[in-house]
Structure 1
Amino acid sequence: MTESVLILGGTAEAAELARILAGDHGLRVISSLAGRTAMPRRPPGESRVGGFGGEGGLMDYLRAEAIRLVVDATHPFASRMGWNAARACAALGLPLLRLDRPAWVAGPQDRWTEVENWDEAAAHLRRTSRRAFLAAGRQELAAFVGLDGLWFLLRFAEETPPVPAPARFILIADRGPFVLAGERALLQEHAIDTIVCRNSGGTAARAKLDAAAELGLPVLMHCRPSRPEGPCAGSAQEAAAWVRATLSA
């Protein structure tokens, strides 16, 4: 009998989990990708691209595909999908695991100021900055549109300009993982005086923080949003073990 597992993905951890489980006999692995990039990297196994249409649409999909369990391996800031998954799985009685990479923790050399939202970050920038590296999501720039006195460095996987966008910016199209030497050179080349980012965790985007610490630059760090209570794994290996144990129980 084939068991169907849905991975709510788009992260490196989700792709790694799909790779681990793809070779398991009798397991159908489906990765769901948000579709925010034109050519997403498709992990092993089956994949689908696009939203479900909210909690109700997700429930319909879980029923239609006879999903046995769900792993929420979405980005730490994709909180809406996380809450929809929690409610849908609870309503259908399906096991749900959150695969959540550990958050970054400030070290002795880091000059971090934690903020709860982008409006708070924008207000801080208005008082203290002239040239900022804005490492936020493409859909998260609205709070910075009115900061006409600031210049921004933006970096996304694709070169399509974001809408809305700050008045003064340069866009670099690049995809991690990034390395310390490259990030240090980037910050120096563009005379960056502040970094604004989300506490995404992981290693792919950590280098900009290490470079900031070396250069003595302040960082405005957006705290992670709340997530539903429930089982949680910190790595793809842990998540794979949970999937196998749950299916064999």
Structure 2
Amino acid sequence: MWTEEIVTERPAWRHIPSGVVFREVPGGTFRMGLSEAELAAVRAIERSGGAEDTLEPFFAGAGDAQPIREVRVEAFLLARHPLTVAQVRHWLPEYEDDYADADSGTARLEDDLDDLLEAMPFRLPSEAEWEYAARAGTTTLTFRGDGRPGEDQLLDDFGDGQRTAAAENAFGLAALGSANEICADMWIPGFVGAPADARPRTGDGPRTVRGGAADCYPWQGCGEWLLLLAATRHEHAQFTAVRPVAPLPRQD
């Protein structure tokens, strides 16, 4: 069912039936949410002329990713990138995608989402797991630092192995933030009362999604780059990408 291999000079686990490559995300503790330092970094981008439009909606919604809290995350396997059209078709052979230009592109699911979640033997990441993976040990706006992320950070097709490898963070994960990726948590504005471990907040209602900058491409100068930030979160609507989580394979 699984094979351990080296992918772009990093250890990886491949789920043989589907071909999905997973990276092991080590356990650890991190500070989850949008920090005052990150808000200051966005204001610095704004002052320098790096924001074409007003960022007031972003600052007004900052409380949706606060207060900052320390979260403990156990080790887990996370897909190297969102599921592609070809990978989704392993579980849903009739799947058609209106958004991807190639089978190697990110699949964006709408009506098929529940069918996929029921068919695949994996689960969705919690928000804490997603943000921990996106940060990969950093505390800045993105894993690349506090500068404004550019369109060169978007990655929506994984047919080019070199480009995918160049986009990986320290955990060997690519494209976190490019497509909106659904999490296991229901949408609750803010983190008041959220658990100190990586358990998702569940209940009725829409789920939370992370990322989505490539969903707005080509950028129109309206702050789409903010969707690349590790702490940005919003309510799920319409289509979404899926980046599954798997348990660590048994070591016999």
TM range (shorter): under 0.3
More helix by share: 1
Tell me the TM-score normalised to structure 2 length: 0.23
Rg larger in structure: 1
Alignment TM-score, normalising by the size of structure 1: 0.23
Greater strand fraction, Structure 1 or Structure 2: 1
